[in-house]
Amino acid sequence: MVELKDYKGHVAPDWCPACGNFAQLTAMEKSLTELGIEPKDVVVVSGIGCSSNLPEFIHAYGFHGIHGRLLPVASAIKWGNPKLTVIGYGGDGDGFNEGTQHLYHAARRNVDMTYIVSDNQIFGLTTGQASPTSPTGLKTKTTPDGSVEKPVNPMTYALSAGATFVARAFSGDPKHLQEVITEGIKHKGFSFIDVFSPCVTFNKLNTYDYFRKRVYKLTDNDRKDFQQAYKFAEEWNEKIPIGILYQVDEERYDQVDPVVSQGPLIDREPYRLTQEDLKEFL
């Protein structure tokens, strides 16, 4: 029987006090425990950033990729051993700047994994520069007169790319956050979860109070309705929906690719070229 203590890491988190990442770490641990998944069967893959230190703080397998490249690594791990529960975890800078193209292709391939983005609308680890989701007008070290760029909308991007599970949550509501993460892990396909995670040190606009006044939970929406999901994804300003916007069952890459669909790579006999094979090839 899996217990919550089984996921407690040996390294204490060093995030800033009240950082939204704490709630996400706890929610992830509780979800995996609730689902009865053993730590030995879990791999958490991250890139670079404050949030991307999470693999050090949870007792499971972990892999640090380079900035923005966690999804290709996570995809390869899942295809190599589909028995593993693979979770990608990173920030909005990592995922929506350097990692934009990887998000698109992992979503359209419908890789069976969960990708959680700790979205604080700022670059935290490098001490407060504007990120792709920073609101227009936000003053930072790189935008002292206010950001002039229109922020990226992760939800419409994930939907357009073909993600089969698209959700949003808020670190200030840990119970709901855990429920969304649990459903994302259970989903067979690419699960994308964007989490509002206030940066208490560098982002003084998108605070806990800012989101508490605006977010509302989706309860009776038709999750299979793409147009409705897209409409919710575009909703912003005074009211922002959180919850599962979209969820459908579609074929996955591992079901249709002629190589990967033959079964886990780890279960196959290694292919060895003989001298005769080599001569014929040459």
Residue 61 clears pLDDT 80, i.e. is over it: yes
Quickly list DSSP for 38-83: -GGGEEEEE-SSSGGGGGGTBSSEEEE-STT-HHHHHHHHHHH-TT
pLDDT at residue 262, rounded to an integer: 83
pLDDT of residue 43: 98
pLDDT score at 36: 98
Q: Is residue 42 pLDDT above 90, yes or no?
A: yes
pLDDT digits (tens, 9 = 90+) for 222-249: 999 999 999 999 999 899 999 999 999 9
**pLDDT tens digits, one per residue of 79-109:** 989 999 999 999 998 999 888 999 999 999 9
More confident residue, 280 or 195: 195
Domains of the chain: 4-281 (3.40.50.970)
CA nearest to 52, candidates 92, 102, 18:
92
Residue range 252-267, pLDDT digits in tens: 988 998 888 888 777 8
Residue 277 has pLDDT above 90, yes or no: no
Which pLDDT score is estimated for 53? 92
Can you name the residues that pair with 190 across neighbouring β-strands?
113
Q: Look at residues 54, 76, 6, 10 and name the one whose alpha carbon lies nearest to residue 171.
A: 54
